[in-house]
A and B are shown apart, each in its own frame.
Chain A
Amino acid sequence: MADGAGVGSALWLAAAVATAAAATYAWRGLGVLLAGRIRVDGAAFAWIGYVAYGLLAGLIARMILLPAGPLATTALGVRLAATGVALAVFFAAGRHLVAGVVAGVVAFTGLVALGVG
């Protein structure tokens, strides 16, 4: 982990990347194995889709409210304000993804550069 410096740390990070790659390819490989043999519009697939969706929502909220790494040096108010700007522009522009992302990132960068954060 982060406290193990040098080769051990690099090895651990490489193991994390390899683990994530294997966990991702597992779905693609299993998909090939099951292709044409199962129905994908059943309740089990709907449920696992919602689990992925809820997990991502939780990850996003945690990254904004309780960030790890350098975002932790910024003020919570700035992160929340920029998130609010992103959502407001997203809906005002008719659920426009790019407009929301650009507005949120620009608002965040601007507030941090002005020293609000």
Chain B
Amino acid sequence: MIFASFVGFGSLCRSVELPMWLGLASTATGWALPGQVAMVELVGTGASLAAIAVAVALSGSRLLPMTVTLVPQLIAPDSPRWRAYVVAHWIAVTSWLITMSERHRLDRGARTPFFLGFALTLWLWSLAGTVVGFTVAGAVPPAMMLGLVFLNPIYFLMVLAADATDRGRVVALGSGAVLGPMFHLVTADWGLMLTGFAAGSAGFLASRAHRNAHRLSGTAADG
């Protein structure tokens, strides 16, 4: 699935005439698909560098708590700090999930090699997917090329739908879907950022309200 999703990304790069080497550079140096797709889409709509920086940063915020929790598992406190800064580049959703779930079965010294072996394999598959997507998009009939580009929004829609397990996320998903196109029409540069803040805050408040309601009803039942 990772390979296929990066095939979609490679096709998306070709569709906005981003050269293959830059698509590859994006996968190699970014390696966070939501931010990469946001970057290519904003390039396609002619947004400013500042808008790209903010939207990509907001889309990648999950990497901070993931890194904060994974690094102490991987790197011994007495080992050089720069190692952690290098290793952190390969923290992504799948490499994080697998390493966090396997860490108890690994000696501390074996965790970083395990993580890097796993993450670098995924990373190389991602790079291969980018090349394949870019190459294939130029060689297949137009309908198939469009299908590969369409893979990007559909893949993320399914990822978000699979993750929409609490009320807050459902609210963020729904309001983001409504506000995204509207805010884009108002400001192509900052629409994505505004959508994130508005829909995300709505989802956050909904999750808090839901949790508080539960707590209150729980108290009532106890009393």
Interface residues of A (CB under 8 A from B): 1-2, 10, 13-32, 34-36, 38, 40, 43, 45-66, 68-71, 73-74, 79, 82-83, 86-87, 90, 95, 97-98, 100-101, 104-106, 108-110, 112-113, 117
13 inter-chain pairs at a CB distance below 8 angstroms, sorted by A residue, are A19-B52, A23-B56, A35-B84, A43-B208, A53-B163, A54-B196, A55-B196, A101-B158, A105-B147, A105-B148, A105-B151, A105-B154, A113-B141
Indicate if B131 sits at the interface (CB-CB under 8 A). Answer: no
B132 sits at the interface (CB 8 A) = no
Known A-B contacts A51-B196, A55-B195, A56-B176; the reply to A14 vs B147 at CB < 8 A is no
What residues of chain A lie closer than 8 Å to B168, measured between beta carbons? 50
Contact B30 A29 (CB under 8 A): no
B199/A17 in contact, CB under 8 A:
no
A1 to B44, CA, bound (A): 9
Evaluate contact between A24 and B63: CB separation under 8 angstroms: yes
A62 to B195, CA, bound (A): 11
Interface residues of B in 73-112 (CB under 8 A from A): 77, 81, 84-85, 88-89, 91
Determine if A59 and B180 form an interchain contact, defined as CB atoms under 8 angstroms apart.
Answer: yes
Asked if B212 is at the interface of the complex by the 8 Å CB criterion, the answer is no
Grouping DSSP codes into helix (H, G, I), strand (E, B) and loop, the A interface class, with mixed when no group exceeds half, is: helix
Is the contact region of chain B dominated by helix, strand, or loop, or is it mixed?
helix
A16 and B39 contact, CB distance less than 8 A? yes
Tell me the bound Cα distance from A25 to B84 in angstroms: 13
* Minimum C-beta distance from A61 to chain B (A): 4
| Closest beta carbon of chain A to B178's beta carbon, Å | 7
Q: Do the beta carbons of B143 and A109 come within 8 Å of each other? A: yes
Kindly state the separation between the CA atoms of A87 and B174 in the bound complex, as whole angstroms: 14
Cβ-neighbour of A47 out of B32, B77, B191, B204 (below 8 A): B204
A58's partner among B19, B39, B154, B195 (CB-CB below 8 A) is: B195
Q: Which residues of B contact A43 (CB under 8 A)?
A: 208
Contact of B172 with A50 in the complex, beta carbons under 8 Å: yes
B56-79 interface bits toward A, Cβ cutoff 8 Å, 1 = contact, 0 = none: 111111111111110110000100
Taken together as a complex, chains A and B put the C-alpha atoms of A79 and B149 apart, in Å, by 12
- For residue B18, which residues in chain A have a CB less than 8 angstroms away from its CB? 13
